[in-house]
Amino acid sequence: MTAIQQDWLFDEMFGAYTTQGLEKGPDGSLPAETLKGMAKDWMQALGEPISHYFTQASVNGKPMKFAEPRDAVVSWDTKSQRLTLSFTLPLAQPMVPDKQGVQFDIYDPTYFVAYDFSAPGAVSLIDAPKSCQQSYRPPGELDWQTMQKLAAIPAEAETVPDELLAITKGLTHRIEVSCG
């Protein structure tokens, strides 16, 4: 295993907000330079320690390190009015998963970003041996009171209170890859 390829398809509301006021072509397209700038800015922001690409990897409970991301591209679908951010997040050291496997946790510790892995093919292995399997575990449900506390945190907040941060760390989408 050498890297995680991620494609983030944002909802229509995010697309409308993000592209508001930007110059578009007659067909609704965005200039290549604008999309390139978005990719650069977003990857820089996602690299901050609090988010770190919203991705953590571990083997036997020990964290794995990532190298610098590469191949970041933002695309704009003029029909659906949706943006997609695609990038590769390489592992610092390639590894061979065994039966115990590798766990990838996808989550936003600030609880600002929501994820949906329900689409067919949302998680897939590329060029993996047939002995390798993947599994996906969605996060647990939150109680109403905790949801209200998290919803009250302003979007511009740079930190989340410690007691809520402990809860959001448990709200991970876990992808496990093991090879027999």
Query: Which 3-state string (H, E, C) describes 135-151?
Result: EEECCCCCCHHHHHHHH
The percentage of residues in the chain with a pLDDT greater than 90, rounded to a whole number, is 60
What distance in Å separates the CA atoms of residue 130 and residue 136, rounded to the nearest whole number? 18
Residue 136 predicted with pLDDT over 80: yes
pLDDT tens readout for residues 2-14: 999 999 999 999 9
pLDDT tens readout for residues 77-114: 999 999 999 999 999 999 888 888 999 999 877 666 77
What angle (nearest 5°) sits at the alpha carbon of residue 110, between those of residues 107 and 114? Answer: 50
What is residue 85's predicted lDDT score, i.e. its pLDDT?
96
Residue 166 predicted with pLDDT over 80: no
List Cβ neighbours of 34 (8 Å cut-off, separation of 6 or more): 22, 23
What is residue 92's predicted lDDT score, i.e. its pLDDT?
95
* Tokens read off for 96: 């061979």
- Residue range 148-163: average pLDDT? 76
What is residue 100's predicted lDDT score, i.e. its pLDDT?
84
pTM, two decimals, is 0.84
Mapped onto helix, strand or coil, the DSSP state of residue 130 is coil
What is residue 111's predicted lDDT score, i.e. its pLDDT?
67
pLDDT tens readout for residues 24-66: 999 999 999 999 999 999 999 999 877 789 999 999 889 999 9
Higher pLDDT, 124 or 164: 124
* Tokens read off for 155: 């979007």
What distance in Å separates the CA atoms of residue 11 and residue 18, rounded to the nearest whole number? 11
Average predicted confidence (pLDDT) for the chain: 89
- Cross-strand partners of 74: 85
Q: pLDDT confidence of 75, banded at 50, 70, 90?
A: very high
